[in-house]
Chains A and B, each alone.
Chain A
Amino acid sequence: MVSLWNYNRHGMQKMNKILKEAVISVLLFCTVFYATLQVDWLRVLHLTPTIVGDKLSEWTWEMMSSNIKEVEDDEVRLPIDTLMREMCVANGIDTASINIVVSKTSEVNAFATVGKHLVVYTGLIKKMDNEAQLCAVIGHEVAHLQLGHIQSGIRRQALISVIMILVSGNGSGQLSEIIGDMISNSITRTKENDADAQSARYLHAMHLNPLEMANALEKLDSYGVFSFLSDHDDSKKRADRIRNMNFSDNGPYRQVLSPGTWERLQRSCK
């Protein structure tokens, strides 16, 4: 009996020793962790919190931009830059944060992509009835960037695509297709609606007719723009949603570009 009691006592002593050593080990680990926490490592190592996403964005943009035929003509660049700057100033957006590029392509399209790059095709400029409609489309893409729609989904998909390319060994031929899919897949229907509404607000702040957003939606539907994950009825509903928005009266609508400048811009895009 005495021996059995000794056995229990001995077991308890061992348990106590284990507990003591476990507590000391955990404390030691926590102390080292706490000590390392006192250093602002990002500052010391000159890193930024978004460094991974930023590098990935740069890399994706470099690959994408090789397929873009950038328009250097001032007749095109200056009016687009003016519209962009007016939109940014009126809506408190940092002008330098968005890089707008006009690409010489007959396709009617515009898209925003990682790294706050915005690409507008000359085919789209040519098809627009007025500057407000063009601003509506640009505003829609700016809204995607400002609302963080692009950054959140596309970076993840970019990495998956990179891994796929590395694993499969496919070169840049399929890359543009993959990136195109990435852009369309990363933007959901709800985000499209949010971007529509935000673009209409941008127009209103610029003293342009916000209902031109609805007109642009209906006009571009036939060209397939804004049609990611949507159909014809959906575009009609989206246009109606804009028409049902209540905008306060902010005076007569203005003209940002002179009629001559707008004409020359459209002519240069032909």
Chain B
Amino acid sequence: MESYEIHLDEPSLRIEDAVPYEDEKERASGCYIMSLVAVMIGLPMPIINLAATGIFYLMSRKGTFFVRWNSIQALISQVPLFVMNNILFWWTIRILFCFTELSSVYIAYFITVNLYNIYDFIETVRSAISTRKGKVHKWYLYGTITDMVCRR
């Protein structure tokens, strides 16, 4: 059996060591700008989160490693947001249409999801700024998943 060597920790394969060109920085940063818009509009309209996820997926299919990695991280960050915002959206609709009553549980969930949206917003801004400078801002969990999913 023929063996071959794969050096996963080889510097050229790690996102931290990627040296992007100016246009790559711009495109990768653009992903986070789009993500920022999705975070802002996604809370009242979670369909925007879904649309953003689709656009990021299309963007990630082509492009350099640096652009792909960042677009995938932006994509992954939208998935939990889409689920949470969707639950909140339909819960709100049910209250507005009197299918269910307003409760402390709803308000607690509303606050929690809003806090998460704020966290997502801050992280997206940080990522957009870092990426524009050619650096990588790895999110907790999402960065690790992206490392696993996105290969050079």
Contact = CB atoms under 8 A, between A and B. Distances in A.
B104 A10 contact: no
A7 B112 contact: no
Interface stretch (B19-27, B48-56, B95-103, B124-132): B95-103
Interface in B97-152: 97-99, 101-105, 107-109, 111-112, 115-116, 140-141, 144-145, 147-148
Contacts of B111: 36
A41 B107 contact: yes
A156 B100 CA distance: 11
Contacts, number: 85
Nearest to A23: B141
A4 B115 CA distance: 43
Contact of B103 (A2, A42, A152): A42
A42 B107 CA distance: 8
Interface string A25-52: 1000100110011011110010111111
Nearest to B101: A49
Contact of B102 (A10, A24, A47): A47
B96 A3 contact: no
Given A37-B104, A49-B101, A10 B8 contact: yes
A4 B108 contact: no
Given A37-B108, A50-B101, A14 B95 contact: no
A265 interface: no
B102 A21 contact: no
Given A1-B1, A36-B111, A41-B108, A18 B141 contact: yes
A30 to B, nearest CB: 9
Interface centre among B99, B144, B145 (most CB of A within 10 A): B144
Contacts of A7: 6, 8
Nearest to B115: A32
A39 B66 CA distance: 45
A53 interface: yes
Interface string A4-27: 101100110011011001101100
Given A15-B148, A21-B140, A22-B141, A52 B104 contact: no
Interface in A217-249: none
A102 to B, nearest CB: 29
A18 B145 contact: yes
B11 to A, nearest CB: 15
Nearest to B112: A33
B98 A156 contact: yes
Contacts of A24: 141
B21 to A, nearest CB: 28
A18 B138 CA distance: 13
Interface string B1-17: 10111111100000000
A56 B112 contact: no
Given A1-B3, A18-B145, A37-B105, 12 more contacts: A1-B1, A3-B6, A3-B7, A4-B4, A10-B8, A25-B141, A36-B109, A39-B108, A49-B101, A50-B101, A51-B102, A159-B98
21 contacts: A3-B5, A3-B6, A4-B4, A4-B6, A11-B148, A14-B148, A21-B141, A22-B141, A24-B141, A40-B104, A41-B104, A42-B102, A42-B104, A45-B107, A52-B96, A52-B98, A52-B102, A152-B98, A156-B99, A159-B96, A159-B97
Interface of B: 1, 3-9, 95-99, 101-105, 107-109, 111-112, 115-116, 140-141, 144-145, 147-148
